[in-house]
Amino acid sequence: MSFRRLDPFTMLSPVPAVMVSCCDKAEGAKPNIITIAWVGTVNSDPPMVSISVQKRRYSYDMIVNSGEFVVNLVGKKECRAMDYCGVKSGRETDKWADCHYTPVPAEGLDYAPAIAECPGFLACKVRQTIELGSHVMFIGEVVSCGVQEELFDEDGSMHLERAELITKAHGVYQKATDVLGFFGYSVARPDVLKRRMSVYRKKK
């Protein structure tokens, strides 16, 4: 194996493909949905995520004015809508209506709604705004989360991996599937490995 050397580009893969929902704080403002792949977890305590948005995007002013955004996770069922919300602008069409999506309140936020149909959401308040060049990075503190009831087992354990969440690699969408291990599995005792992995293998 050998590397082909390339000029620098945004090659990090696979990155999450998420739908960010937001709303201006002006009275009667309508919320929008924007698809974002430049998103990541940036801090554990307090939990924080960053999203990077171009200033020309319709959602940019909404996030600046409200100081809020919601990161909605995208599963296999939402893949087409996620792509659509990345291609179309809220200036021209109502993406909520186009995708048959329903805005629902996100605890801890006053303006930005969550998308009721997605596997889960992270409600965020903007703590820092950093201009980087083509994009502006909003660092948001996660103030509440929601996960679909169907992704919990009876013992209360959460199984996001069952949502077949969507990732993006170099312009292509794939789903995350086939559990290969868990944090620490490379050094786990054989009995622990067997017990833990059986949980992921018994259900899709």
At closest approach, how far in Å is the CB of 31 from a second copy?
A: 17
- Cα separation, 167 vs 16, in Å, equals 5
Comparison of 64 and 86: residue with beta carbon closer to a second copy: 86
- Find the binding residues for a second copy in span 32-71 (CB under 8 A): 37-50, 52, 71
Comparison of 172 and 191: residue with beta carbon closer to a second copy: 172
- If one counts every other C-beta atom within 10 angstroms of the C-beta of residue 14, the result is 15
150 touches a second copy by CB under 8 A: yes
At closest approach, how far in Å is the CB of 72 from a second copy?
A: 11
The C-alpha angle 104, 106, 109, rounded to 5 degrees, equals: 130
- Find the binding residues for a second copy in span 74-93 (CB under 8 A): 76, 79-81, 83-84, 86-88
- Tell me, what amino acid is at 49? V
132 touches a second copy by CB under 8 A: yes
At closest approach, how far in Å is the CB of 51 from a second copy?
A: 9
On whether the CB atoms of residues 146 and 121 are closer than 8 A, the answer is yes
> Torsion angle of alpha carbons 95, 100, 106, 109, nearest 10°?
20
On whether the CB atoms of residues 63 and 55 are closer than 8 A, the answer is no
At closest approach, how far in Å is the CB of 34 from a second copy?
A: 14
- Find the binding residues for a second copy in span 164-203 (CB under 8 A): 165-187, 200
Q: What is the DSSP string of 58-78?
A: HHHHHHHHH-EEEEE--BGGG
- Find the binding residues for a second copy in span 91-120 (CB under 8 A): 104, 107-108, 114, 116-117, 120
Comparison of 62 and 82: residue with beta carbon closer to a second copy: 82
Instruction: Using DSSP, state whether 185 is helix, strand or coil.
Output: helix
148 touches a second copy by CB under 8 A: yes
